[in-house]
Amino acid sequence: MALKIDQNYRRFKEIIRGKIKQDLKKYMSSGEMIGKQGKDYVSIPLPRINLPHFEYDHEKKGGVGQGEGQEGDAVGKPGEGEAGSGAGRHVLEVDVSMDELAQIMGEELELPRIEPKGNKQKLDSPKYRYTGIRPTGPESLKHFRRTYRQALKRQIVSGTYNPKDPMIIPIREDKRYRSWKEIPQPVSNAVIVYIMDVSGSMGQEQKDIVRTESFWIDTWLRSQYKGIESRYIIHDAAAKEVDQETFYHTKESGGTIISSAYKLCHHMLTQHFDPGEWNMYVFHFSDGDNWSAEDTNMCMSLLKSELLPLVNLFGYGQVESQYGSGQFIKDLEKGFEKNKEFDHLITSKIDSKDDILQSIKTFLGKGK
């Protein structure tokens, strides 16, 4: 049914997508994307536009709450559900499982489902589905409706059914039980390699962006593949493989030689994973400040001849940093522009937290 509100709703959507009224874009808040991770408790970002008012600085204001707790106990972060007894503005916060979360994100960003590449499917252990009916089986699987239907049939046929006193008593032959079928589930595996530049020019803010973005990419890809492996590489002038914890928390410094990471990544993919069986994803985040033009050339040839033929998708996300020159993204774009063969190399610029959603959409929007 068409509702009166539809026009307003469309208008709002257009503003959100940045099609019209760009000046309102700066009032958009999408909430913190990862609220409280852990215990699968995640706050869902629904974009809001709040027109400017004369208003108190809420951060400094504080408020009143109710419950157990001692002085000094934390009650939450600002921006998270707008703590405080102020206006009734709500960020929705609930228990959502990672699968649901991925689904919601998929709908929000209109992400296509991923088509696994080629015949990289192997048959996984079969799944059981209760679809059929049979006359024998354990009592716990008894199908009541079918049993009584059978009994009714029998009674009508044998003439023992009395419509004025409809009593139906199943006998042994009437009993029906659920039966199952084995359904082989095709399963495709994927490996995701996250590469982060941890040179001196990547600050805390930049890393936060990378962290948030890789969390969402991970969530989405996990919803698309059954068996997923994540690998992490950090690099400055040299590259090394690390675990997730280290990936997000190291503070390295020094120069940047991107090719070192690409070499390691290639080594890792070819040594540990069979390209015939695995879908491979590589995401590289950097501020785009490579050591030398020579090394950039080396990266290009590495990508062209070694990495790109292997992977489903190579995403390069460049975060804005006040120190970096941001040259690398331009080089990439120039090197691979208009080359159909390499359209699974996707670049995206992430200037601030607000660009994360858009960037995820750029990376995953093609359904690779």
Which residues contact another protein by CB under 8 A? 1, 3-5, 7-13, 15, 21, 24, 44, 46, 48-49, 51-78, 80-81, 83-88, 90, 92, 94, 96, 100, 104
Cα dihedral 79, 82, 84, 86 sign: positive
Measured from the CB atom, the residue of 39 and 60 that comes closer to another protein is: 60
The CB-of-111 to another protein minimum distance in angstroms stands at 17
Sign of torsion, CA 303 291 234 321?
negative
C-alpha R_g of the chain: 28
Q: Are 365 and 111 in contact (CB under 8 A)?
A: yes
40 vs 115 by CB, closer to another protein = 40
First vs last C-alpha separation in the chain: 36
To the nearest 10°, report the CA torsion of 200, 323, 315, 334.
-130
Closest to another protein by CB, 52 or 166: 52
Give backbone dihedrals phi and psi of 119, rounded to 5 degrees, phi first: -105, 45
- For the CB of residue 35, give the shortest distance to another protein in the complex, in Å: 12
CB of 173 to another protein, least distance (A): 38
Question: 150 exposed, middle or buried (CB, 10 Å; 0-12, 13-18, 19+)?
Answer: buried
Distance from C-alpha of 245 to C-alpha of 275, rounded to nearest angstrom: 27
Shortest CB 8 distance to another protein, Å = 3
Cβ distance to another protein smaller for residue 92 or 238: 92
* Closer residue to another protein (CB): 83 or 168: 83
Nearer of residues 78 and 116 to another protein, judged by Cβ: 78
Pick 100 or 205: Cβ nearer another protein? 100
For 180, phi and psi rounded to 5 degrees? -115, 160
User: Least distance from C-beta 16 to another protein, angstroms?
Assistant: 9
What is d(CA 195, CA 334) in angstroms, rounded to the nearest whole number? 22
CB 107, min distance to another protein, A: 9
Residues 6+ apart with CB under 8 A from 7: none
Check: CB of residue 269 under 8 Å from CB of residue 233: no
Shortest reach from residue 32's CB to another protein, in Å: 11
Question: Residue 61 Cβ, how far from another protein at the closest point, in Å?
Answer: 5
- Helix 98-109 to helix 356-364 angle (10° resolution) is 90
- If the CB atoms of residues 85 and 253 are measured against another protein, the closer one turns out to be 85
With 0-12 / 13-18 / 19 or more C-beta atoms within 10 angstroms meaning exposed / middle / buried, residue 231 is: buried
Token pair for residue 9? 């709703």
* Residue 59 beta carbon to another protein: minimum distance, rounded to whole angstroms: 5
Q: Which residues contact 52 (CB under 8 A, 6 or more apart)?
A: 27
User: Which CB sits closer to another protein, 47 or 335?
Assistant: 47
Residue 23, C-beta contacts closer than 8 angstroms, at least 6 positions apart: none
> How far apart are CB 77 and another protein at their closest, in Å?
5
CB nearer to another protein: give 60 or 172.
60
Q: Is 346 helix (H, G, I), strand (E, B) or coil?
A: strand
